[in-house]
Amino acid sequence: MRVKRIDHVGIVVKDLDAALTTYARNFGFAADASRGGDVAALGIRNAFMPVGESDLEFIQAVADEGPVAQFAKERGEGTFMLSIEVEDIDAAVERLRGTGARVGSPNNGVAFVSAKSAHGVNLQLVQRK
Amino acid sequence: MAIGATHIDHIVISSNNSGAVAQTFADNLGIEIKRKMIRPGTSAQLAFAKLQEVVLEFAGPPQVNPDEEVKAKLWGMVLAVEDIDAAVADLRSKGYTVGDPTKAVQPGAKIATVKGGTSGVPFAMIQYNALPIEGASA
């Protein structure tokens, strides 16, 4: 298994548009208009701002259920998830499961690691094409 | 102007046992822990791994209770900037409370903490090559 880089940091926000405005106006970042939007399956809206070779992902819950909604209820806003790019996601998932970690099956090059398997840190693995 | 951020310099994972968390990441993900140190002043235990341009910093208290469940959380991040004094001045002009740049643990670097206005993300800025590196020849 080869870990390549930090793909993105997920940040839960209450108001996606307000957060994007803040980060653009005050910090000089620009949203990547080619990515993000409504992700109904996860009950979220998101947007990405590149910073060097990684991205900030801003995530707003739009459903009452799900991990993002739960985080928003408990903590409001803040750093939510670390996404790590791996060379081969199937190999990465196999390795993790071999250590006893709970990992979802890869879907479109993305797999989620249970926070319980990382001492409470939400981890996502991603394989880019 | 903006703050002139070039990249995410490091991401901090805070825990009650930084050594154990770093070892879990090393074992499970194959990440190499490159460096461990005690932070001067606070005696916090730190471990570092580098994934291309981003450093993962595992931070924990000086003393670890071996009977306590290891708990970690993704804490915050530090952005590399080209001119930290200009970045601090710019954010202050926009109403932010920003600490004065101070010497960072990284050789030759200065760091300043941004307090609030970051969507709940603990957030700091770092500039490398901001100070003479002790022991380096001219």
Break chain B into its structural domains and give their ranges: 5-127
Tell me the pLDDT tens digit for each residue of B105-117: 888 999 999 999 9
Question: Residue A24 and residue A117: Cα distance in Å, rounded?
Answer: 35
Of B1, B72, B77, the CB nearest to A9: B77
CA A9 to centroid of chain Cα atoms = 6
Tell me the pLDDT tens digit for each residue of B16-74: 999 999 999 999 999 999 999 998 888 999 999 999 999 999 999 999 999 999 999 99
Does ipTM surpass 0.90 in this model?
yes
How many Cα atoms sit within 13 Å of B18 on the Cβ side? Answer: 26
* Count of structural domains, chain A: 1
Distances (CA, A) of B2 to A17, B21, B136: 19, 35, 32
Signed CA dihedral, A86, A88, A89, A95: sign only? negative
B94 lies within 8 A of chain A by CB = yes
DSSP code per residue over B15-43? ES-HHHHHHHHHHHH---EEEEEEPTTT-
Confidence of residue B1 (pLDDT cuts 50, 70, 90): low
How many Å lie between the alpha carbon of A39 and the closest alpha carbon of chain B?
21
The helix (run of H) or strand (run of E) holding residue B86 is helix B84-93
**How many Cβ atoms from other residues are within 10 Å of residue A79's Cβ?**
28
How many Å lie between the alpha carbon of B135 and the closest alpha carbon of chain A?
31
The pLDDT value recorded for residue B2 is 86
According to CATH, the superfamily of the domain at B5-127 is 2,3-Dihydroxybiphenyl 1,2-Dioxygenase, domain 1 (3.10.180.10)
Q: For residues A126 and A83, is the Cβ–Cβ distance under 8 A?
A: yes
pLDDT(B137) > 70: no
Question: Residue B38 and residue B34: Cα distance in Å, rounded?
Answer: 14
Determine the residue type at A47: A
pLDDT(B99) > 80: yes
Tell me the pLDDT tens digit for each residue of A55-73: 999 999 999 999 999 999 9
Residue A84 sits in a domain whose CATH number is 3.10.180.10
β-pairing, A78-86 vs A123-126, is parallel
Question: Residue A43 and residue A65: Cα distance in Å, rounded?
Answer: 7
Residues in CB range of B124: below 8 A, 6 or more apart = B76, B77, B78, B79, B111, B112, B113, B114
CA A112 to centroid of chain Cα atoms = 9
**Closest residue in chain A to residue B28, using alpha carbons only:** A96
Question: Residue A99 and residue B130: Cα distance in Å, rounded?
Answer: 43
Closest CA to B79 of B41, B53, B117, B44: B53
Average pLDDT, chain B: 93
Please give the average per-residue pLDDT across A71-93, as a whole number.
96
Question: Residue A62 and residue A60: Cα distance in Å, rounded?
Answer: 6
**Closest residue in chain B to residue A25, using alpha carbons only:** B2
Mutation site, B119, B125, B128, interface A, largest A CB count within 10 A? B119
Contacts of A118 in chain B (CB under 8 A): 24-25, 28, 72
Tell me the pLDDT tens digit for each residue of A3-51: 999 999 999 999 999 999 999 999 999 999 999 999 998 999 999 999 9
Domain residues for the domain of A53 are 3-126
Contacts of A50 in chain B (CB under 8 A): none
Contacts of A1 in chain B (CB under 8 A): 29-30
Confidence of residue A107 (pLDDT cuts 50, 70, 90): very high
As given in the structure block, the two tokens for residue B59 are 């931070």
The pLDDT value recorded for residue B44 is 93
